[in-house]
Amino acid sequence: MSKFYARRASIVAALTGLVASVALFNSATASAALPTPVSAATARTYLSKLTVATENRTGYQRDLFPTWDTITGTCNTREYVLKRDGSNVVTDSACASTSGSWYSQYDGATWTAASDLDIDHIVPLAEAWDSGASKWTTAQREAFANDVTRPQLIAVTDNVNQSKGDQDPATWVPPRAAYVCTYVRAWVQVKYYYNLSVDSAEKSALTSRLSGC
């Protein structure tokens, strides 16, 4: 082999190694995210199968939905989602986040203190109650409130989550337009999985949003 080709082979090998190292670094430090919702087409199909009914909040109390179960080790649901949704998150022995960074998909803000984040229930607990969860057992409501398998829990800017409150997509969607499609797909998937109803204004808003996805 000539010196030229030997040198070129050496350079290619070095570049290949560098690319592999960068990929490894990115896979280790990149932020994880909400479980990927179903496609827009599937969400539209699911939406067509949801029962349309008037909502009823009679008897709702938040503590009827026990939250922040232990998910793994010493990590409860909030701490689990903070670790999942953050980058370079460091936790103490109690699983509390002591450092890291979090990108809020709802508004595009980045935070370096876990105290600036709320864990949003994409389908709010009160909304679930209104649309069927009032008939569930406490254990079923607890499973819903701590569901990290479906696209139901996400770490977001606290005051943005507070502005959402218990609203459905007829009156509130994330202010960051690029995330609205993901949000409504997740909303429909969760409602479909848990066999929750939608009201007429909610269904109309979801239909409109999904048509643009």
78 burial level (CB within 10 Å; 0-12, 13-18, 19+): buried
Summarize the confidence of residues 70-84 as an average pLDDT. Answer: 97
Domains of the chain, residue spans: 1-30, 33-211
DSSP 121-135: ESS-HHHHHHTTGGG
What is the model's pLDDT at position 84?
A: 97
Q: pLDDT (tens digit, 9 = 90+) per residue, 12-37?
A: 333 333 333 333 233 333 345 899 99
Q: What is the pTM of this model?
A: 0.85
Report the pLDDT averaged over residues 78-96.
97
